[in-house]
Amino acid sequence: MKHKLIFATGNPNKVKEVNQILNGALEVVSMKDFGVTEDIPETSDTIEGNALQKARYLAKHYQVDCFSEDTGLEVEVLGGAPGVHTARYGGASRSAEANMGRLLKELGGEMNRVAQFKTVIALILDGKEYTFEGICKGSILRSQRGEGGFGYDPIFQPLGYDKSFAELPYSEKNKISHRGKAMEQLIEFLKNRG
């Protein structure tokens, strides 16, 4: 079942995490390794729309089987924000520190800190489109904890745990994470396809 897929992302942390989740089940090549250097636009107003937009771009311009993903952090009391704006919530720099800083400031002393991460993977295989969704429910901590992970991991505590994503070993995080759940569905789909 060894499929080779181009992963439409410029984020090396996501490539690393996906390869850890896949554990050799797929051969994943990053855009950079494939020679794609342009920044693919993300102009949709939904997470699913952005994932599809990135995959369609690669499939159209490079005629390859590929997948992309888009992830959003949705905070209940903020009406689902930052949502589709998760990566640039703190400004165009995409700085994790700025993103977390803005979110913590906006939540302030708010008691309701219920949140979830949502990942949508868009796969284009033999010209057909498929999507897979993974959700991890949890809450936003009042301050950063842990050194691992990336993005909002130091302030997100998954439901049923007393540690932030950044405090969990990758092996444990990947079993319960939004991205891990979506990747499991992708792997299962490819296995069943043969």
Q: Which residues are catalytic?
A: 70
> Residue 190, Cβ neighbours under 10 Å: how many?
19
Whether 68 and 15 have beta carbons less than 8 Å apart is answered as no
For the stretch 76-86, what's the b/e string if a residue is b when 16 or more beta carbons lie within 10 angstroms of its beta carbon?
A: eebeebbbbeb
Q: Pairing state of beta strands 114-125 and 128-140?
A: antiparallel
Find the helix or strand (DSSP H, E) in which 86 lies: none
> What's the alpha-carbon Rg for the chain, to the nearest Å?
16
Residue 157 to residue 147: CA distance in whole angstroms: 14
